[in-house]
Structure 1
Amino acid sequence: MTTEKNTERRILVPAKKTRENPILKEILLRVSGTHGYEVANALIDQELTDEELAKKTGIRLNLVRRILYDLYENRIVNYRRVRDENTGWYIYYWHLEPERAISLYHTNQKLFLKKLEERLEHEKNTMFFSCKNSCPKVPFDEAAENDFKCPKCGKKLEYFDNSEIIAALERQIEALKQNLAGN
Protein backbone atom coordinates (compact mmCIF):
# COMPACT_ATOMS: atom_id res chain seq x y z
CA MET A 1 0.00 0.00 0.00
CA THR A 2 1.27 3.44 -0.88
CA THR A 3 -0.10 6.94 -0.67
CA GLU A 4 0.45 8.91 -3.84
CA LYS A 5 -0.73 12.22 -5.31
CA ASN A 6 -0.74 10.70 -8.79
CA THR A 7 -4.16 9.40 -9.87
CA GLU A 8 -2.84 8.00 -13.15
CA ARG A 9 -3.91 4.39 -13.72
CA ARG A 10 -1.34 1.69 -14.15
CA ILE A 11 -1.69 -1.49 -16.19
CA LEU A 12 -0.10 -4.14 -14.04
CA VAL A 13 -0.62 -7.64 -15.40
CA PRO A 14 -0.75 -9.07 -18.92
CA ALA A 15 -4.45 -9.93 -19.21
CA LYS A 16 -4.17 -12.91 -21.57
CA LYS A 17 -1.63 -14.73 -19.39
CA THR A 18 -3.71 -14.24 -16.23
CA ARG A 19 -7.14 -15.12 -17.62
CA GLU A 20 -5.83 -18.44 -18.93
CA ASN A 21 -4.17 -19.50 -15.67
CA PRO A 22 -6.22 -22.39 -14.19
CA ILE A 23 -4.46 -22.15 -10.81
CA LEU A 24 -5.40 -18.49 -10.43
CA LYS A 25 -8.99 -19.25 -11.43
CA GLU A 26 -9.17 -22.03 -8.83
CA ILE A 27 -7.76 -19.74 -6.13
CA LEU A 28 -10.21 -16.95 -6.95
CA LEU A 29 -13.22 -19.28 -6.97
CA ARG A 30 -12.20 -20.87 -3.65
CA VAL A 31 -11.51 -17.59 -1.88
CA SER A 32 -14.42 -15.51 -3.10
CA GLY A 33 -16.74 -17.53 -5.33
CA THR A 34 -18.18 -16.60 -8.71
CA HIS A 35 -18.69 -12.93 -7.84
CA GLY A 36 -15.10 -12.72 -6.62
CA TYR A 37 -13.92 -14.22 -9.87
CA GLU A 38 -15.85 -11.54 -11.78
CA VAL A 39 -14.34 -8.77 -9.63
CA ALA A 40 -10.82 -10.15 -10.07
CA ASN A 41 -11.31 -10.49 -13.84
CA ALA A 42 -12.25 -6.81 -13.98
CA LEU A 43 -8.94 -6.02 -12.26
CA ILE A 44 -6.76 -8.12 -14.54
CA ASP A 45 -5.57 -5.38 -16.84
CA GLN A 46 -6.16 -2.24 -14.80
CA GLU A 47 -6.56 -0.57 -11.43
CA LEU A 48 -10.11 0.31 -10.42
CA THR A 49 -11.90 1.80 -7.42
CA ASP A 50 -14.59 -0.19 -5.64
CA GLU A 51 -17.28 2.03 -7.22
CA GLU A 52 -15.86 1.43 -10.70
CA LEU A 53 -15.76 -2.32 -10.04
CA ALA A 54 -19.40 -2.28 -8.94
CA LYS A 55 -20.43 -0.49 -12.15
CA LYS A 56 -18.28 -2.69 -14.39
CA THR A 57 -19.44 -6.01 -12.88
CA GLY A 58 -23.02 -5.11 -11.93
CA ILE A 59 -22.40 -6.39 -8.40
CA ARG A 60 -23.66 -4.36 -5.41
CA LEU A 61 -21.04 -2.01 -3.97
CA ASN A 62 -21.11 -3.49 -0.45
CA LEU A 63 -20.57 -6.99 -1.90
CA VAL A 64 -17.70 -5.72 -4.08
CA ARG A 65 -16.08 -4.23 -0.97
CA ARG A 66 -16.48 -7.47 0.98
CA ILE A 67 -14.98 -9.43 -1.91
CA LEU A 68 -12.05 -7.01 -2.15
CA TYR A 69 -11.35 -7.38 1.58
CA ASP A 70 -11.44 -11.19 1.29
CA LEU A 71 -9.11 -11.09 -1.70
CA TYR A 72 -6.83 -8.65 0.13
CA GLU A 73 -6.68 -10.89 3.22
CA ASN A 74 -5.54 -13.70 0.95
CA ARG A 75 -2.99 -11.41 -0.75
CA ILE A 76 -4.61 -11.77 -4.16
CA VAL A 77 -5.28 -8.06 -4.57
CA ASN A 78 -3.59 -4.97 -3.22
CA TYR A 79 -4.39 -1.30 -3.35
CA ARG A 80 -2.88 2.10 -3.90
CA ARG A 81 -4.26 4.90 -1.73
CA VAL A 82 -4.58 8.43 -3.14
CA ARG A 83 -5.90 11.48 -1.30
CA ASP A 84 -8.59 13.41 -3.19
CA GLU A 85 -7.47 17.06 -3.35
CA ASN A 86 -11.05 18.40 -3.18
CA THR A 87 -12.63 16.28 -0.45
CA GLY A 88 -9.59 15.12 1.51
CA TRP A 89 -10.94 11.57 1.37
CA TYR A 90 -8.77 8.66 0.30
CA ILE A 91 -9.51 6.88 -2.95
CA TYR A 92 -8.39 3.25 -3.12
CA TYR A 93 -7.25 1.88 -6.47
CA TRP A 94 -7.34 -1.91 -6.39
CA HIS A 95 -5.18 -4.18 -8.53
CA LEU A 96 -4.68 -7.91 -8.92
CA GLU A 97 -1.44 -9.59 -7.79
CA PRO A 98 -1.58 -13.00 -9.48
CA GLU A 99 2.06 -13.92 -8.83
CA ARG A 100 1.53 -13.53 -5.09
CA ALA A 101 -1.66 -15.56 -5.21
CA ILE A 102 0.02 -18.36 -7.14
CA SER A 103 2.99 -18.33 -4.77
CA LEU A 104 0.62 -18.60 -1.81
CA TYR A 105 -1.18 -21.47 -3.56
CA HIS A 106 2.09 -23.38 -4.02
CA THR A 107 3.06 -22.76 -0.39
CA ASN A 108 -0.31 -24.08 0.77
CA GLN A 109 -0.01 -27.11 -1.52
CA LYS A 110 3.42 -27.90 -0.03
CA LEU A 111 2.02 -27.63 3.50
CA PHE A 112 -0.87 -29.90 2.52
CA LEU A 113 1.60 -32.39 1.03
CA LYS A 114 3.59 -32.39 4.28
CA LYS A 115 0.42 -33.06 6.31
CA LEU A 116 -0.57 -35.90 3.98
CA GLU A 117 2.89 -37.44 4.32
CA GLU A 118 2.66 -37.19 8.12
CA ARG A 119 -0.76 -38.82 8.05
CA LEU A 120 0.57 -41.58 5.78
CA GLU A 121 3.41 -42.29 8.22
CA HIS A 122 0.93 -42.41 11.10
CA GLU A 123 -1.32 -44.83 9.20
CA LYS A 124 1.63 -47.05 8.25
CA ASN A 125 3.18 -47.12 11.74
CA THR A 126 0.03 -47.59 13.81
CA MET A 127 -2.13 -50.65 14.29
CA PHE A 128 -5.80 -49.66 14.53
CA PHE A 129 -8.87 -51.31 15.98
CA SER A 130 -12.57 -50.57 15.51
CA CYS A 131 -15.97 -51.88 16.52
CA LYS A 132 -18.86 -52.95 14.29
CA ASN A 133 -20.83 -49.75 15.07
CA SER A 134 -18.71 -47.51 12.83
CA CYS A 135 -17.25 -45.63 15.78
CA PRO A 136 -13.89 -43.95 15.12
CA LYS A 137 -10.92 -46.32 14.89
CA VAL A 138 -8.52 -46.34 17.83
CA PRO A 139 -4.79 -47.05 17.96
CA PHE A 140 -3.48 -50.22 19.62
CA ASP A 141 -2.37 -48.45 22.83
CA GLU A 142 -5.82 -46.98 23.44
CA ALA A 143 -7.52 -50.27 22.54
CA ALA A 144 -5.31 -52.15 25.01
CA GLU A 145 -6.02 -49.61 27.78
CA ASN A 146 -9.76 -50.19 27.28
CA ASP A 147 -9.42 -54.01 27.21
CA PHE A 148 -10.24 -53.94 23.49
CA LYS A 149 -13.67 -52.44 24.11
CA CYS A 150 -14.82 -49.40 22.14
CA PRO A 151 -14.42 -46.22 24.20
CA LYS A 152 -17.62 -44.82 22.59
CA CYS A 153 -20.09 -47.72 22.66
CA GLY A 154 -18.39 -50.47 24.69
CA LYS A 155 -18.54 -53.09 21.89
CA LYS A 156 -15.63 -55.44 21.20
CA LEU A 157 -12.80 -53.94 19.13
CA GLU A 158 -11.34 -55.87 16.22
CA TYR A 159 -8.32 -55.25 14.01
CA PHE A 160 -8.97 -52.51 11.44
CA ASP A 161 -7.31 -52.99 8.04
CA ASN A 162 -6.22 -49.52 6.93
CA SER A 163 -4.49 -50.63 3.71
CA GLU A 164 -7.14 -48.86 1.60
CA ILE A 165 -6.53 -45.61 3.49
CA ILE A 166 -2.78 -46.00 2.99
CA ALA A 167 -3.23 -46.64 -0.74
CA ALA A 168 -5.54 -43.62 -1.10
CA LEU A 169 -3.06 -41.39 0.75
CA GLU A 170 -0.21 -42.63 -1.45
CA ARG A 171 -2.23 -41.85 -4.60
CA GLN A 172 -3.14 -38.40 -3.32
CA ILE A 173 0.48 -37.65 -2.37
CA GLU A 174 1.75 -38.78 -5.77
CA ALA A 175 -0.83 -36.67 -7.62
CA LEU A 176 0.04 -33.64 -5.51
CA LYS A 177 3.77 -34.14 -6.10
CA GLN A 178 3.19 -34.35 -9.86
CA ASN A 179 1.02 -31.24 -9.74
CA LEU A 180 3.72 -29.32 -7.85
CA ALA A 181 6.45 -30.55 -10.22
CA GLY A 182 4.43 -29.47 -13.25
CA ASN A 183 3.90 -25.91 -12.03
Structure 2
Amino acid sequence: MEAEELLKELAVTMLGDEVLPVLEILLKGKSELTDDEIARMLNVKVNNVRRTLYMLADHGLVRYKRTRDRETGWYLYYWRANTDQVNEILLNRKREMVQKLKMRLEFETNNTFYICPEDGSRYIFDEAFENEFKCPRCGTSLVYYEVERVREVIERKIRQLEEEINVETKSNFG
Protein backbone atom coordinates (compact mmCIF):
# COMPACT_ATOMS: atom_id res chain seq x y z
CA MET A 1 0.00 0.00 0.00
CA GLU A 2 1.26 3.48 -0.83
CA ALA A 3 2.52 5.52 2.14
CA GLU A 4 -0.09 8.27 1.62
CA GLU A 5 -2.99 5.80 1.58
CA LEU A 6 -1.60 4.02 4.62
CA LEU A 7 -1.27 7.33 6.46
CA LYS A 8 -4.91 8.18 5.68
CA GLU A 9 -6.08 4.75 6.81
CA LEU A 10 -4.14 5.09 10.07
CA ALA A 11 -5.59 8.56 10.66
CA VAL A 12 -9.15 7.36 10.18
CA THR A 13 -8.60 4.30 12.38
CA MET A 14 -7.03 6.31 15.20
CA LEU A 15 -8.93 9.60 14.99
CA GLY A 16 -11.97 9.23 12.73
CA ASP A 17 -13.05 10.59 9.35
CA GLU A 18 -13.13 14.21 10.50
CA VAL A 19 -9.32 14.51 10.24
CA LEU A 20 -9.21 13.49 6.58
CA PRO A 21 -9.80 16.89 4.92
CA VAL A 22 -6.83 18.46 6.73
CA LEU A 23 -4.59 15.45 6.10
CA GLU A 24 -5.55 15.28 2.43
CA ILE A 25 -4.66 18.97 1.96
CA LEU A 26 -1.23 18.27 3.47
CA LEU A 27 -0.77 15.19 1.30
CA LYS A 28 -1.68 17.11 -1.88
CA GLY A 29 0.60 20.03 -1.10
CA LYS A 30 4.18 19.50 -2.11
CA SER A 31 5.38 22.11 0.37
CA GLU A 32 4.65 22.82 4.01
CA LEU A 33 1.49 24.77 4.81
CA THR A 34 0.47 26.99 7.71
CA ASP A 35 -2.72 26.39 9.66
CA ASP A 36 -4.12 29.64 8.18
CA GLU A 37 -3.51 28.42 4.63
CA ILE A 38 -5.18 25.09 5.36
CA ALA A 39 -8.17 26.84 6.97
CA ARG A 40 -8.59 29.08 3.92
CA MET A 41 -8.36 26.12 1.54
CA LEU A 42 -11.03 24.22 3.51
CA ASN A 43 -13.09 27.31 4.29
CA VAL A 44 -13.23 26.47 8.00
CA LYS A 45 -12.14 28.21 11.19
CA VAL A 46 -8.42 28.14 11.90
CA ASN A 47 -9.05 26.86 15.45
CA ASN A 48 -10.71 23.74 14.04
CA VAL A 49 -7.73 23.18 11.76
CA ARG A 50 -5.29 23.66 14.66
CA ARG A 51 -7.19 21.18 16.82
CA THR A 52 -7.05 18.61 14.02
CA LEU A 53 -3.36 19.27 13.36
CA TYR A 54 -2.50 18.81 17.03
CA MET A 55 -4.44 15.52 17.15
CA LEU A 56 -2.62 14.30 14.04
CA ALA A 57 0.73 15.44 15.48
CA ASP A 58 0.07 13.67 18.80
CA HIS A 59 -0.11 10.42 16.84
CA GLY A 60 2.94 11.21 14.69
CA LEU A 61 0.91 11.50 11.48
CA VAL A 62 1.99 15.08 10.78
CA ARG A 63 4.90 17.21 11.86
CA TYR A 64 5.69 20.89 11.90
CA LYS A 65 8.50 23.36 11.71
CA ARG A 66 8.26 26.48 13.88
CA THR A 67 9.64 29.86 12.81
CA ARG A 68 9.23 33.38 14.15
CA ASP A 69 7.64 36.04 11.94
CA ARG A 70 10.11 38.94 11.88
CA GLU A 71 7.39 41.59 11.57
CA THR A 72 4.92 40.43 14.21
CA GLY A 73 7.16 38.34 16.47
CA TRP A 74 4.55 35.56 16.40
CA TYR A 75 5.47 31.97 15.79
CA LEU A 76 4.42 30.42 12.51
CA TYR A 77 3.96 26.68 12.20
CA TYR A 78 4.56 25.00 8.86
CA TRP A 79 2.86 21.61 8.71
CA ARG A 80 3.39 18.57 6.53
CA ALA A 81 2.25 14.96 6.43
CA ASN A 82 4.64 12.50 7.99
CA THR A 83 4.64 9.95 5.16
CA ASP A 84 8.26 8.93 5.67
CA GLN A 85 7.50 7.67 9.20
CA VAL A 86 4.49 5.47 8.36
CA ASN A 87 6.31 2.19 9.04
CA GLU A 88 7.54 3.39 12.43
CA ILE A 89 4.03 4.62 13.32
CA LEU A 90 2.64 1.18 12.46
CA LEU A 91 5.32 -0.55 14.52
CA ASN A 92 4.54 1.66 17.51
CA ARG A 93 0.82 0.92 17.17
CA LYS A 94 1.57 -2.81 17.15
CA ARG A 95 3.80 -2.44 20.21
CA GLU A 96 1.00 -0.59 22.03
CA MET A 97 -1.45 -3.32 21.05
CA VAL A 98 0.88 -6.01 22.41
CA GLN A 99 1.10 -4.14 25.74
CA LYS A 100 -2.69 -3.85 25.97
CA LEU A 101 -3.14 -7.51 25.11
CA LYS A 102 -0.60 -8.50 27.76
CA MET A 103 -2.52 -6.47 30.36
CA ARG A 104 -5.77 -8.14 29.26
CA LEU A 105 -4.12 -11.57 29.43
CA GLU A 106 -2.94 -10.85 32.96
CA PHE A 107 -6.48 -9.80 33.95
CA GLU A 108 -7.96 -12.94 32.39
CA THR A 109 -5.32 -15.14 34.07
CA ASN A 110 -5.62 -13.59 37.54
CA ASN A 111 -9.42 -13.64 37.82
CA THR A 112 -12.17 -16.22 38.04
CA PHE A 113 -15.27 -15.44 36.00
CA TYR A 114 -18.96 -16.24 36.12
CA ILE A 115 -21.42 -15.60 33.32
CA CYS A 116 -25.17 -15.13 33.05
CA PRO A 117 -26.52 -17.80 30.67
CA GLU A 118 -29.43 -15.50 29.76
CA ASP A 119 -27.76 -12.24 28.72
CA GLY A 120 -24.07 -13.23 28.54
CA SER A 121 -22.93 -10.68 31.14
CA ARG A 122 -19.61 -11.66 32.65
CA TYR A 123 -18.60 -11.00 36.25
CA ILE A 124 -15.40 -11.50 38.21
CA PHE A 125 -15.64 -13.69 41.32
CA ASP A 126 -16.01 -10.74 43.75
CA GLU A 127 -18.96 -9.30 41.76
CA ALA A 128 -20.60 -12.73 41.52
CA PHE A 129 -20.09 -13.32 45.25
CA GLU A 130 -21.57 -9.90 46.17
CA ASN A 131 -24.67 -10.78 44.13
CA GLU A 132 -24.93 -14.30 45.63
CA PHE A 133 -24.03 -15.75 42.22
CA LYS A 134 -27.19 -14.34 40.68
CA CYS A 135 -27.23 -11.99 37.70
CA PRO A 136 -27.92 -8.45 39.00
CA ARG A 137 -29.84 -7.71 35.78
CA CYS A 138 -32.20 -10.67 35.49
CA GLY A 139 -31.72 -12.80 38.63
CA THR A 140 -30.61 -15.94 36.76
CA SER A 141 -28.01 -18.10 38.50
CA LEU A 142 -24.50 -17.40 37.26
CA VAL A 143 -22.36 -20.24 35.95
CA TYR A 144 -18.59 -20.66 36.03
CA TYR A 145 -16.93 -19.32 32.88
CA GLU A 146 -13.81 -21.06 31.59
CA VAL A 147 -11.44 -18.46 30.11
CA GLU A 148 -8.87 -20.87 28.70
CA ARG A 149 -10.04 -20.30 25.09
CA VAL A 150 -10.01 -16.54 25.61
CA ARG A 151 -6.46 -16.74 26.97
CA GLU A 152 -5.38 -18.90 24.03
CA VAL A 153 -6.75 -16.38 21.52
CA ILE A 154 -5.02 -13.48 23.30
CA GLU A 155 -1.73 -15.39 23.52
CA ARG A 156 -1.94 -16.29 19.81
CA LYS A 157 -2.56 -12.65 18.86
CA ILE A 158 0.37 -11.51 21.04
CA ARG A 159 2.69 -14.04 19.36
CA GLN A 160 1.48 -12.98 15.90
CA LEU A 161 2.03 -9.28 16.59
CA GLU A 162 5.44 -9.86 18.20
CA GLU A 163 6.47 -11.90 15.17
CA GLU A 164 5.31 -9.12 12.82
CA ILE A 165 7.20 -6.54 14.90
CA ASN A 166 10.39 -8.64 14.75
CA VAL A 167 10.14 -9.16 10.99
CA GLU A 168 9.36 -5.50 10.31
CA THR A 169 12.09 -4.29 12.65
CA LYS A 170 14.67 -6.50 10.92
CA SER A 171 13.53 -5.41 7.44
CA ASN A 172 13.53 -1.71 8.39
CA PHE A 173 16.82 -1.66 10.25
CA GLY A 174 18.62 -4.84 9.27
Give the TM-score band, short-chain normalised: 0.5 to 0.7
Q: Indicate which of 122, 137, 146 corresponds to 1:161.
A: 146
Distance 1:83 1:105 in 2: 35
Distance 1:89 1:118 in 2: 45
- Establish whether residue 149 from structure 1 lines up as the match of residue 127 from structure 2: no
Q: TM-score, normalised by structure 1?
A: 0.64
Structure 1 residues 51 and 133: alpha-carbon distance in aligned structure 2, compared to 1, 3 A threshold: same
Alignment RMSD: 3.3
Q: In structure 2, what residue type is equivalent to 1:181?
A: N
SS in 2 for 1:156: coil
Aligned residues: 161
Q: Which has the larger radius of gyration?
A: 1
1:59-100, Cα deviation, whole Å (9 max, x unpaired):
224254443232234343223223153x56554322334566
Structure 1 residues 123 and 65: alpha-carbon distance in aligned structure 2, compared to 1, 3 A threshold: closer
SS in 1 for 2:42: coil
Q: In structure 2, what residue type is equivalent to 1:67?
A: T
1:105-162, Cα deviation, whole Å (9 max, x unpaired):
5334323212212222332443321122325322335434544223444321112233
Q: How does 1:30-179 map to 2 (within 5 A)?
A: 30-31=14-15, 33=17, 34-42=20-28, 45-54=30-39, 58-62=41-45, 63-75=48-60, 76-85=62-71, 90-98=75-83, 103=88, 105-134=90-119, 136-179=121-164
Distance 2:16 2:123 in 1: 38
Q: Which runs of 5+ in 2 are unaligned?
A: 169-174
The percent of aligned pairs where both chains have the same amino acid is 33
Q: Which runs of 5+ in 1 are unaligned?
A: 1-16
Answer 1 or 2: higher relative contact order, Cα 8 Å, separation at least 6: 1
Q: In structure 2, what residue type is equivalent to 1:41?
A: L
